[in-house]
Chain A
Amino acid sequence: MYKYDEIDQAIVNERVSQYRDQTRRYLAGELSDEEFRPLRLQNGLYIQRHAPMLRIAVPYGTLSSAQLRKLGEISKRYDRGYGHFSTRQNLQLNWPKLEDVPDILAELATVEMHAIQTSGNCIRNITTDQFAGVAPDEIIDPRAVAEIMRQWSTFHPEFALLPRKFKIAVSGTKQDRAIVQAHDIGLEFYYDEQNKMAIKVWVGGGLGRTPILGSVIREHLEWQHVLTYCEAIIRVYNLHGRRDNAYKARIKILVKALGIDEFREQVEAEWAHLKDNPNTITEAELSRVATYFTEMPYESLPAHDAGFDNAIASNPAFAAWVKRSVHAHKKSGYRAVTLSLKPHGKAPGDATSEQMIAVADLADAYSFGELRVSHEQNLILTDVKLSDVYALWETARANELATPNIGLLTDIICCPGGDFCSLANAKSIPIAEAIQMQFDNLDYLHDIGELELNISGCMNACGHHHVGHIGILGVDKDGSEWYQVTIGGKQGNDASIGAVIGPSFAAEEMPGVVQKLIDVYIAERTPEERFIDTVRRIGIPPFKAHVYGKAVEKADAHV
């Protein structure tokens, strides 16, 4: 992975000093709340319901074991012994003290980490596929360009105060796992006819209260122009995006208002001035950065391992876990392994300090000291030898990291919701926990098969509910908490936004509602169909009919 040289290190060190001084001025009353707000936000510090929340950047979801160990230590020392991995591959601490944040940043800087631009109206952490570099369906490893873009966007002077937040995702695989279409800019890497690396550029996607999938602004962009092209897009947005209404300020609204063709014309006109300027990436720079992402020192291994095969044959619990958590790898004899942060009945995405340290140890023992955070809020060891998988499982299990539910109904994506977030309409974590307990029977869970269930506590959609096969959204009705259900959302190349099935439900009804959706699926599915396929084939009405049954009229009362 990328390692800091003295230039990178100087920037994070200078940032610590700068932020320390900003905090000092705020505490001394020299900065008003309103003035401090964008400063702390650009450093990932929110004021939540009970305490501040600090969001730490995990660039494109990649962590070293030393970094994760440090996060474990920090969450123990400055927080309450746990952290929350988010859908944007970052880590959030829920209880730090505002006056401790400069010290936390100083600690982070010692392991080449920071909280720069993890919030605020600027270019945020760039996200990608959690299997970048090891996925068999990968065409281009996007990490080197992602790192170049991380550097370019860090303290970008022109884009420090945009109309609204700006999220970029990169992906270089056949199967999109980075939801490029749900980002302000999505960059899809491929080889063109000349066998040169090129980029398909999506713009104007986003979830939130107006979910919109992105449009293609350019089918073919030569990779070296990616910074100047993004500059052109973001400059048009900076000058013409709406600032009069925070809910209409994302780039997607501008793209919709102008239409993609007019927006493209404006961007291309702007780009004509920027193309080939010094921010054009050189071959030398790409290869300098790419050397940090060269292959791990893999051993050459046979495709099979007898010990692994025997363990599968003799140990059903291990076999069930392998089926869900162990993923194909481009190298023979290696696997990527997902550690579940979704044990049933716990807040999805949370990891204790001890778990973080245990995972860091596992990464050192079995995966070249590196790991990934997925946007599904799990941790991934990318380079595990088949012969090590069993030992890894035993340790993971002892640390409650081996719930065999990856990709299944209880692998819920869930935002912090009403328990923490001051914008929430409703709690989301207790709903996730109740659904997990409803589907606690593992055989049944496996029989239901692949299913993505996403929960957000309000229409800001931090839990990606729009793209969940089942999406749950907390809504407020006359001051009480209700839940609206959508089905048919999907991430990936054939992404779609889910449709609302009808009037919303009370919290205690939710496990039963999900159960009814599953009942319809089980009754209607063909042998090879996943839940989402059945929904796409038979449509919403059968689900709606079963969920509401005779109760429709009663339920309508609280629309």
Chain B
Amino acid sequence: MSNLILDHNIVEDTWQLVTPPTVEEAVVRKQAGKVVLFKLTGEASYSDEQITATEIPQTGKVLIPLTVWIARKQALSARLANGEIGIWLATHEVLETLVENQPDLNVFPLIAIHVERFADGRIFSIGNLLRTRYGFKNTLRAFGDVLRDQLFFLKRCGFNSYLIRADRSAEEALASLQDFSEPYQGAVDNNQPVWRRVHREHV
């Protein structure tokens, strides 16, 4: 059973997720005795070795890490033209890097944002910027630690696809897309704040 929501339906995932090989001894960063949970905005994601060693399936639609795509985009240009290349980035990566390398984002049928920890709200600003600043019109997916209680916010920030964490039910998560019927502020899904959407009488 698929755990992927697209708009308001559960659909099969036709994209193959590409991830760089993990490095052997991952360093656990600590601060004041506590494990550091979040990467800093702008921090590098992968080493050059990881990027070169990343295996990309030869056929089909592939969802490629931003840094891998930048390094190897020449070789992938034919597949990009074929609509076979989607890009994913993590919440600590910056959109400027993407846009500098590819000003027209609509060449990608899919952009996906990986949220490592659900408490990382950078994903919301990233979604917003992709839609409102960089004009991305195609599928915008959230994946990783995606739980139903963020869906309403993700939707309002421009996402239209959610890969629910494997141990949770996507079926149940669908309900959360409707948590609130008339939100107050203008956002990406509807840029009109409530006072421009409906007439409010004095009570």
Residues of chain A at the chain B interface (Cβ within 8 Å): 3-5, 7, 10-11, 14-15, 18, 22, 35, 38-39, 121, 151-163, 227, 235, 238-240, 242-245, 247, 273, 277-279, 282, 284-285, 288, 291-292
Decide: A291 and B202 in contact? CB cutoff 8 A: yes
The interface centre, meaning the residue of B133, B184, B198 with most chain A CB atoms within 10 A of its CB, is B184
Binds A, one of B57-65, B70-78, B187-195: B187-195
Q: Taking CB as reference atom, which chain B residue is nearest A284?
A: B195
Decide: B149 and A157 in contact? CB cutoff 8 A: no
Residues of chain B at the chain A interface (Cβ within 8 Å): 29, 31-32, 36-41, 94, 118-122, 124-126, 128, 132-133, 147, 149-150, 152-157, 176, 179-187, 191-196, 198, 200-203
Decide: B124 and A278 in contact? CB cutoff 8 A: no
The interface centre, meaning the residue of B150, B185, B198, B201 with most chain A CB atoms within 10 A of its CB, is B185
Q: Once bound together, how far apart are the Cα atoms of A245 and B31, in whole Å?
A: 7
Decide: A278 and B192 in contact? CB cutoff 8 A: yes
Decide: A154 and B184 in contact? CB cutoff 8 A: yes
Can you list 24 A-B pairs, Cβ within 8 angstroms, ordered by A?
A: A3-B203, A4-B203, A11-B182, A18-B179, A22-B149, A38-B118, A121-B119, A121-B121, A152-B193, A155-B180, A157-B124, A157-B153, A157-B185, A160-B124, A161-B118, A161-B150, A238-B124, A238-B125, A243-B37, A244-B36, A244-B40, A273-B132, A277-B191, A291-B202
Decide: A5 and B203 in contact? CB cutoff 8 A: yes
* A285-B121 contact, Cβ under 8 Å, with A10-B181, A22-B149: no
* A243-B128 contact, Cβ under 8 Å, with A157-B152, A278-B191, A282-B195: no
Decide: A152 and B187 in contact? CB cutoff 8 A: no
Chain B residues with Cβ under 8 A from A157's Cβ?
A: 124, 152-157, 183, 185, 187
Q: Once bound together, how far apart are the Cα atoms of A291 and B192, in whole Å?
A: 22
Decide: B185 and A279 in contact? CB cutoff 8 A: yes
Minimum C-beta distance from B17 to chain A (A): 23
Decide: B124 and A161 in contact? CB cutoff 8 A: yes
Decide: B120 and A243 in contact? CB cutoff 8 A: yes
Chain B residues with Cβ under 8 A from A278's Cβ?
A: 186, 191-193, 196
Decide: A238 and B122 in contact? CB cutoff 8 A: yes
Decide: A288 and B200 in contact? CB cutoff 8 A: yes
Dominant secondary structure at the B interface: loop
Taking a contact as CB atoms closer than 8 A, the residue among B40, B126, B184 that contacts A243 in the complex is B40
Minimum C-beta distance from B117 to chain A (A): 9
* A239-B149 contact, Cβ under 8 Å, with A244-B31, A279-B186: no
Taking a contact as CB atoms closer than 8 A, the residue among B36, B128, B186 that contacts A245 in the complex is B36
Q: Once bound together, how far apart are the Cα atoms of A235 and B133, in whole Å?
A: 13
- Please name the 7 residue pairs, one residue from A and one from B, whose CB atoms are nearest each other, closest first: A161-B121, A157-B156, A243-B38, A157-B153, A151-B184, A285-B195, A158-B124
Decide: B194 and A14 in contact? CB cutoff 8 A: no
Decide: A244 and B186 in contact? CB cutoff 8 A: no
Q: Taking CB as reference atom, which chain B residue is nearest A2?
A: B203
Decide: B157 and A277 in contact? CB cutoff 8 A: no
Taking a contact as CB atoms closer than 8 A, the residue among B120, B176, B184 that contacts A152 in the complex is B184
* A239-B119 contact, Cβ under 8 Å, with A152-B193, A273-B133: no
Q: Taking CB as reference atom, which chain B residue is nearest A152?
A: B185
Decide: B147 and A35 in contact? CB cutoff 8 A: yes
Decide: B122 and A239 in contact? CB cutoff 8 A: yes
* A7-B192 contact, Cβ under 8 Å, with A157-B157, A157-B187, A244-B40: no
Chain A residues with Cβ under 8 A from B183's Cβ?
A: 11, 155, 157
Chain A residues with Cβ under 8 A from B124's Cβ?
A: 157-161, 238
Decide: A11 and B185 in contact? CB cutoff 8 A: no
Chain A residues with Cβ under 8 A from B133's Cβ?
A: 273
Decide: B182 and A5 in contact? CB cutoff 8 A: no
Minimum C-beta distance from B173 to chain A (A): 11
Minimum C-beta distance from A300 to chain B (A): 26
Q: Taking CB as reference atom, which chain B residue is nearest A231?
A: B185
Minimum C-beta distance from A269 to chain B (A): 11
Chain A residues with Cβ under 8 A from B37's Cβ?
A: 243-244
The interface centre, meaning the residue of A154, A238, A240, A285 with most chain B CB atoms within 10 A of its CB, is A238
Q: Once bound together, how far apart are the Cα atoms of A245 and B126, in whole Å?
A: 21
Q: Taking CB as reference atom, which chain A residue is nearest B183?
A: A155
Known contacts A11-B184, A244-B38; 6 further A-B pairs (Cβ under 8 A): A158-B157, A160-B121, A160-B150, A162-B121, A239-B41, A243-B40
Q: Once bound together, how far apart are the Cα atoms of A177 and B119, in whole Å?
A: 34
Minimum C-beta distance from B32 to chain A (A): 8
Decide: B202 and A288 in contact? CB cutoff 8 A: yes
Decide: A288 and B120 in contact? CB cutoff 8 A: no
Decide: A14 and B200 in contact? CB cutoff 8 A: no
Q: Once bound together, how far apart are the Cα atoms of A349 and B203, in whole Å?
A: 33
Chain A residues with Cβ under 8 A from B155's Cβ?
A: 157
Q: Once bound together, how far apart are the Cα atoms of A244 and B180, in whole Å?
A: 32
Minimum C-beta distance from B184 to chain A (A): 4
Minimum C-beta distance from B95 to chain A (A): 9
Q: Taking CB as reference atom, which chain B residue is nearest A4?
A: B203
Q: Once bound together, how far apart are the Cα atoms of A308 and B128, in whole Å?
A: 60
Minimum C-beta distance from B149 to chain A (A): 6
Chain A residues with Cβ under 8 A from B179's Cβ?
A: 14, 18
Q: Once bound together, how far apart are the Cα atoms of A395 and B182, in whole Å?
A: 44
Taking a contact as CB atoms closer than 8 A, the residue among B29, B36, B40, B120 that contacts A161 in the complex is B120
Q: Once bound together, how far apart are the Cα atoms of A4 and B184, in whole Å?
A: 13
Taking a contact as CB atoms closer than 8 A, the residue among B147, B182, B191 that contacts A7 in the complex is B182
Q: Once bound together, how far apart are the Cα atoms of A479 and B111, in whole Å?
A: 52
Minimum C-beta distance from A265 to chain B (A): 15
Q: Once bound together, how far apart are the Cα atoms of A36 and B189, in whole Å?
A: 27
Chain A residues with Cβ under 8 A from B31's Cβ?
A: 244-245
Chain B residues with Cβ under 8 A from A163's Cβ?
A: 121
Q: Once bound together, how far apart are the Cα atoms of A292 and B193, in whole Å?
A: 19
Decide: B195 and A240 in contact? CB cutoff 8 A: no
Chain A residues with Cβ under 8 A from B201's Cβ?
A: 5
Decide: B194 and A151 in contact? CB cutoff 8 A: yes
Decide: A7 and B153 in contact? CB cutoff 8 A: no
Chain A residues with Cβ under 8 A from B187's Cβ?
A: 157-158
